[in-house]
């Protein structure tokens, strides 16, 4: 089972939205996925009650049972992720960037980290400037971008992911799906299997 942690010690950066949709993207590509909702808020567990998610959601970490395990971590430094791959969502703001730099230091090269600028709108000069500053400050050339799109909120409000066929006609759905797929595309080094 390949473990992928979605982590940022700062709250409100879109960890659950990213995690739900990464799990759905993997499921749609034919992979078996279990989603571990480790956040005490239990947003993914609540959405799973609607029975629209294409994967199993658990409140604990299973030992086996799927090709991929998506771990939705709570905010904070209580427990650092020990997955070989950490998806690190952050919003395009100075506080997020500063918190991100501290969090990256805490990981200390223990994992491959994919940084995702979430809820980004490059029409805003501040988002463009923060993105460019983050690339320079964090030393990351390839920051993945998930744009500010209503379809993410629409999916969450319906207890679905953007990969749900019920949203096939939603505005910008193809672009949103490509953004999520790109998060895991071409990792810098191979992700090791934990089984």
The answer to whether residue 188 sits within a structural domain is no
Asked whether residue 37 is domain-assigned, the answer is yes
In a domain, 27, yes or no: yes
Whether pLDDT at 190 is above 70: no
Whole-model pTM: value is 0.92
Inside any domain, residue 190: no
| pLDDT: which is higher, 142 or 69 | 69
Q: What percent of the chain has pLDDT over 70?
A: 95
CB of 176 within 8 A of CB of 152?
Answer: yes
DSSP secondary-structure letter at 23? H
Phi/psi of residue 146, nearest 5 degrees: -115, 115
Range of the domain at 65: 2-183
15-24, 66-75, 86-95, 159-168 — which is least confidently predicted? Answer: 86-95
Band of pLDDT at residue 191, cut at 50, 70 and 90? very low
What is the Cα–Cα distance from 132 to 158, expressed in whole angstroms? 34
- Comparing 4-8, 29-33, 64-68, 94-98, the range with the smallest average pLDDT is 94-98
**CA triple 108-147-68, angle to 5 deg:** 55
Q: Mean of the per-residue pLDDT values for the chain?
A: 91
Domain contains 135: yes
| Total of domains in the chain | 1
Q: For residue 61, is it within any domain?
A: yes
Supply the CATH number for residue 128's domain: 3.40.50.300
* Residue found under tokens 């744009």: 147
Q: Is residue 194 part of a domain?
A: no
User: Does 26 fall in a domain?
Assistant: yes
């Amino acid at each position: 089972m390949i473990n992928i942690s979605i982590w940022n010690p700062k709250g409100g950066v879109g960890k659950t939205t990213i995690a739900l949709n990464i799990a759905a993207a993997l499921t749609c590509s034919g992979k078996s996925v279990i989603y571990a909702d480790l956040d005490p808020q239990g947003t993914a567990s609540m959405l799973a009650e609607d029975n629209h998610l294409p994967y199993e959601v658990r409140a604990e970490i299973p030992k086996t049972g799927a090709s991929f395990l998506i771990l939705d971590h709570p905010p904070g430094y209580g427990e650092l992720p020990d997955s070989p791959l950490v998806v690190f969502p952050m919003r395009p703001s100075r506080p997020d960037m500063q918190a991100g730099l501290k969090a990256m230091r805490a990981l200390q090269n223990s994992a491959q980290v994919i940084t995702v600028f979430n809820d980004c709108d490059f029409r805003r000069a501040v988002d463009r400037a923060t993105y460019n500053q983050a690339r320079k400050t964090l030393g990351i050339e390839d920051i993945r971008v998930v744009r500010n799109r209503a379809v993410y909120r629409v999916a969450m409000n319906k207890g679905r992911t953007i990969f749900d066929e019920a949203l096939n006609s939603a505005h910008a759905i193809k672009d949103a799906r490509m953004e999520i797929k790109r998060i895991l595309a071409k990792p810098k080094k191979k992700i090791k299997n934990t089984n």
